[in-house]
């Protein structure tokens, strides 16, 4: 039972270490998402457009359209990054749920082992008492 208990404790320690690593990954991904959100917000700030009378030339319009397309492309790229990060976070949450379930199962097994150990200790104590009481007769 001691070896089993040691094995359970070792497994529990390993699962806790794995859980800590995954929590750190989630925190890093959340920071990355925050940075990406800031970048999206800053890229969405509109530059003031100076409207000239009726003399606005086609080159300025083409340049503005080019800038808009570039910003649209950057926004799409950032949205894709956020979606990828969200997918990774969802996967990590699933892994954490699995680890949590495994830890719960391990805890239950440890409780069963503890109860069995206590029962065996009681049986051992009773067995030690019987010869002592029989020899006193």
Which of 94, 90, 75 lies closest to 36 in space, CA to CA? Answer: 75
Query: Burial code of 118-135, b = ≥16 C-beta within 10 A, e = fewer?
Result: eeeeeeeeeeeeeeeeee
Q: The whole model's pTM is what? A: 0.43
User: Angle at Cα 109 formed by Cα 103 and Cα 111, nearest 5°?
Assistant: 105
Over range 27-37, report the average pLDDT: 90
Return d(Cα 34, Cα 37) in angstroms, integer: 5
Give 71-92 pLDDT, tens digit per residue.
999 989 989 998 999 999 999 9
What's the pLDDT score for residue 3? Answer: 85
Q: Where are the domains of the chain?
A: 2-45+60-135
Structure tokens given for 55: 């003399």
């Amino acid at each position: 039972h001691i070896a089993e208990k040691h094995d359970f404790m070792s497994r529990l320690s390993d699962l806790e270490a794995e859980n800590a690593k995954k929590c750190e990954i989630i925190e890093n991904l959340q920071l990355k998402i925050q940075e990406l959100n800031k970048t999206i917000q800053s890229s969405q700030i509109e530059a003031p457009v100076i409207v000239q009378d009726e003399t606005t030339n086609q080159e300025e319009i083409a340049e503005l359209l080019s800038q808009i397309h570039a910003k649209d492309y950057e926004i799409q790229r950032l949205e894709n990054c956020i979606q990828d990060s969200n997918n990774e976070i969802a996967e990590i949450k699933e892994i954490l749920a699995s680890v949590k379930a495994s830890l719960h199962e391990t805890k239950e097994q440890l409780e069963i082992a503890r109860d069995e150990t206590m029962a065996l200790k009681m049986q051992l104590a009773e067995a030690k008492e019987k010869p002592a009481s029989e020899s006193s007769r």
